[in-house]
Amino acid sequence: MSVRRGFTLIEMLVVIAIIAILAALLFPVLTQAKERAKTTACSNNLKQLAHAVQIYLDDYDQRFPLAVTLDVAAGTYRTGEFSEFPNAWRSSQTGARHAENRTHWSSAIYPYIENHGIYACPSGADDRLPGVPDYGSPLVPPRYVSYTYNGLLHSYPASSVAAPDDLPLFWEGLGKVRVEGFAVSSPQLNCTDLGAVCFYVPGSAPGGTLMPNLRSQWVHNKGVIFTFVRTGAKFRRLGAQVQPLTTDRLRDPWETYDAGGIGQTQWLTPGAFRYPYLFRPDYAFDE
């Protein structure tokens, strides 16, 4: 009696084909599970940031953190700029600048978190700002930041927020990215010199604007996660058109997007001094 040993070539090819089919079936499932885990981590991060702001409010007379820093020597606000995070990592900056950086929301709420990792979403792609030589000689490691702060809340009193359950506090406003060493607010007030008002005033100066997307706004399944002044984090689909070429202004910060999910035009209030529609502290969200 003979004993068969091994597989024939045809049998081996059949086994390989079966394994390939199973892998093809399982890969999308595993990918979806991995992305769901990242989305959950992102949501938890945003909740912790929002909780830190609540503690900050208790310590600072119920006024929200600053969205931009003050350039005391120049007598201006650093509107439209990213702020260093942590505040003293850049070797090219003075001690005075490091102290000014500490007033930015990212560093101001850090003592209530004490975990740099909470600032970054695992779904984002790592990126650096151009023209920053300090990346090669940091005083301390620069940290990644994915989330943006509602800058219309810059020093705003919490008691004056009309709809705290609906007003965005943090969101993934730059898109699917993790910026190394810098944090930013989006939207921001269009503040200029320190002698002018840097405060949200409906229909009046200074006005405000969203920061441009660095990458696609479709971070999680064609949307992003928001957290609100008084409630937890929620996923929101972005870019869904309700009219030809435009989105729903009651849900979406951007009016139009390109094919890759980059916001092109933003929803703004009418008038000479315009503000991003969904981020106004006095908006009651009752339309």
Asked if pLDDT for residue 17 goes beyond 70, the answer is: no
DSSP structural state of residue 60:
T
Do the domain assignments include residue 253? yes
Q: Rounded to two decimals, what is the model's pTM?
A: 0.89
Which positions ≥6 away from 155 have C-beta within 8 Å? 63, 64, 66, 198, 199
Structure token pair of residue 107: 């560093």
Q: Is residue 241 part of a domain?
A: yes
Decide if 158 is inside a domain.
Answer: yes
Q: How many domains does the chain have?
A: 1
Position 28 in a domain: no
Mean pLDDT of the chain: 91
Query: Distance (Å, rounded) from C-alpha 223 to C-alpha 218?
Result: 5
Can you tell me the distance from the alpha carbon of 151 to that of 211, in angstroms, rounded to the nearest whole number? Answer: 10
Contacts of 257 (CB under 8 A, 6+ apart): 217, 238, 239, 247, 263, 264
pLDDT of residue 27: 55
Which pLDDT tens digit goes with each residue over 75-111?
999 999 999 999 999 999 999 999 999 999 999 999 9
Look at residue 27 and tell me if it is in a domain. no
Query: What is the rounded radius of gyration, in angstroms, for the C-alpha atoms of the chain?
Result: 23
Q: Is the previous residue joined to 202 through a cis bond, with omega within 30 degrees of 0?
A: no
Q: pLDDT tens across 46-77, in order?
A: 999 999 999 999 999 999 999 999 999 999 99
> Per the domain annotation, does 230 fall within a domain?
yes
Give me the mean pLDDT over the 160-182 stretch: 97
Short-list 181, 164, 198, CA closest to 68: 198
| Whether pLDDT at 28 is above 60 | no
> Is residue 51 classed exposed, middle or buried when 0-12, 13-18 and 19+ CB atoms within 10 A define those classes?
middle
Check residue 16 and give its pLDDT: 72
Question: Mean pLDDT throughout 22-31?
Answer: 58
Read off the pLDDT of residues 173-224 as tens digits, 9 standing for 90 and up: 999 999 999 999 999 999 988 888 899 999 999 999 999 999 999 999 899 9
- Is residue 31 included in any domain, yes or no? no
Lowest mean pLDDT across 26-40, 118-132, 153-167, 229-243: 26-40
Q: How far is CA 254 from the centre of its chain?
A: 14
In-domain check, residue 5: no
Q: What is the DSSP letter of 178?
A: E
Range of the domain at 84: 37-279
pLDDT digits (tens, 9 = 90+) for 106-138: 999 999 999 999 999 999 899 999 999 999 999
What pLDDT is stored for residue 36 in this prediction? Answer: 82
CA atoms within 13 A on the CB side of 206: 22
What amino acid is encoded at 114 in this protein?
Answer: E
Predicted pLDDT at 10 = 75
